[in-house]
Structure 1
Amino acid sequence: MSLFALLDINNTLVNIPLGDGYAMSWIEAFGTVFGLLCIWFASQEKTINYLFGLLNVTLFAVIFFQIQLYGLLLLQLFFFCANIYGWYAWTRPNAQGETLEVRWLSKQKLIATAAVSVISITWLTIYIDAFFFSLASFTVDGLNLLGTNLASPVLEPDAFPFWDATMTVLSVVAQVLMTRKYVENWILWVVINVISVGIYATQGVYAMSAQYAILMFIAANGTREWARSAKRNDDKTLTQTAAA
């Protein structure tokens, strides 16, 4: 099978007997597996998660290009850059030769993060259709400069503006927090996945709903594992401070 055939969203790997039936393509299957591996290794604080993250967002960008969801395509570009930065941040030693450690947000950073999230969700809920149409148009115009000759996208109004805005904003915030190894990123991923399970099940996309249910449990485990790591790091810092 050629690479182009593997990347074709219409090349079905398996028909899943859920709802009215769901034809999962090869590219979606690989993208999903890479996404699950990314989240699992991240929950174990393994830097290799970023390799699988880059593969995941690249394949999903190809999918969104093919099904003409250009706003989501542009969002994958953000996640691609965030994965590269996260890989760098997790492996770059500081002046003392130490790499980034898992910890909780300080009270000031937590308040600031919450305030920015609430404001962003409120703004995006109100302007979500105009925002994503602008993103889609911007992406199409950029791709057309490369000679793709795409037609202008026609988007339907968002079915769940508040929940969609919440998932979008919290996904960006959670990804940023993960690159800095803050425990709170996993709490946000749990919230995002709970919402995703409900939204996709309501829309009848049961395979996606099942996938996010798995991600929800991985994120819950990530919260537990990172909370333990943060406590160990705090104890180590207190011990070093007392010894000094």
Structure 2
Amino acid sequence: MTWLEPTAAGLGVLCLFFLIRQSMWAWPVGIAMTSLYALIFFDVRLYSDFGLQLIFCVLQAYGWWFWLSHRDKAEADSQAPVIWLGLRKLLPWLAVGAVGALILGLVMDRFTDADLPYWDAMTTSFSLVAQFMLARKYLENWLVWIGVDVVAIGVYAYKGLLLTSGLYALFLVMCIWGFWQWRRDSRAEPEAAPAQ
């Protein structure tokens, strides 16, 4: 499995770069990356992360479809717009992440031999929230990803996945860049953004 982690990490950096640039290439690269990470996480018994990668494959396809279907078809190189949620609309997303983390952590703790079940569940639940928000082009997805990355760096370092931990440190920096870039590219303030 030694070749899998560096390959998946490289695809992860490329995927995130494409996402920051709002390029459609992010989605096929993301599908390849999540497939490799599913194998890696199953091998080290991080079952929540394993399941997360399988769901990410589906969410990658959804994001690809959403971005394509919500762009201005009259303009060849147009993109779906970035949407600001604002704090009031962000709070329910965070609540879903917290409840999901608690439920998944309890299940993993009681019914599996998972290591770090609650921390693993936290990164899983909030990653699902962030990924769906990313697919819908909600600006605040980057803030949720920043929180996930901070926790993931510690979890993966503890599990001896040092390359992946380093990758998440790079992801953290790239997510800060992504938030700044998407905010600059967005057309509306949170109060004026249309609901999607």
**Shorter-chain TM-score category?**
0.7 to 0.9
The DSSP-based 3-state class of the residue aligned with 1:38 is: helix
* 1:32 matched residue in structure 2: 9
**1:83 is matched by which residue type in structure 2?**
Q
Q: Structure 1 length as normaliser, TM-score?
A: 0.67
* 1:17 matched residue in structure 2: none
Per-residue deviation, residues 176-196 of structure 1 (Å, max 9, x unmatched): 000000111111111111112
Quick one: distance in 1 between partners of 2:55 and 2:159? 26
CA contact (8 A) 2:45 2:114 kept: no
Per-residue deviation, residues 155-187 of structure 1 (Å, max 9, x unmatched): 42533x432222111100000000000111111
Q: Once superposed, what is the RMSD of the aligned Cα atoms? A: 2.6
Quick one: distance in 2 between partners of 1:215 and 1:84? 21
* 1:158 matched residue in structure 2: 115
Quick one: distance in 2 between partners of 1:203 and 1:172? 21
**1:125 is matched by which residue type in structure 2?**
G
2:133 to 177, 180, 186: 177
**1:194 is matched by which residue type in structure 2?**
V
Quick one: distance in 1 between partners of 2:94 and 2:46? 29
CA contact (8 A) 2:35 2:53 kept: yes
1:53 to 30, 51, 57: 30
Alignment of 1:33-112 (within 5 A): 33-64=10-41, 71-93=48-70, 99-112=79-92
1:72/1:166 Cα in 2 relative to 1: closer, same or farther (>3 Å)? closer
CA contact (8 A) 2:156 2:162 kept: yes
- What's the CA shift for 1:119? 2.2
- What's the CA shift for 1:110? 1.5
Identity of counterpart residues, as a percentage?
32
**2:113 is matched by which residue type in structure 1?**
E
Quick one: distance in 2 between partners of 1:190 and 1:64? 21
Quick one: distance in 2 between partners of 1:44 and 1:165? 29
Structure 1: 5+ residue stretches without partners: 1-8, 10-24, 134-154, 239-244
Structure 2: 5+ residue stretches without partners: none
**2:23 is matched by which residue type in structure 1?**
K
Quick one: distance in 2 between partners of 1:123 and 1:68? 18
* 1:20 matched residue in structure 2: none
1:44/1:127 Cα in 2 relative to 1: closer, same or farther (>3 Å)? same
Q: Is 1:116 aligned with 2:96?
A: yes
Count of residues in correspondence between the two structures: 187
Q: Is 1:129 aligned with 2:109?
A: yes
- Higher Rg of the two aligned structures: 1
Quick one: distance in 2 between partners of 1:95 and 1:45? 14
- Runs (4+) of structure 1 exceeding 6 A deviation are none
- What's the CA shift for 1:40? 1.2
Per-residue deviation, residues 64-102 of structure 1 (Å, max 9, x unmatched): 455666554332221001000101101114698675211
CA contact (8 A) 1:50 1:87 kept: yes
**1:80 is matched by which residue type in structure 2?**
C
Q: Is 1:188 aligned with 2:165?
A: no
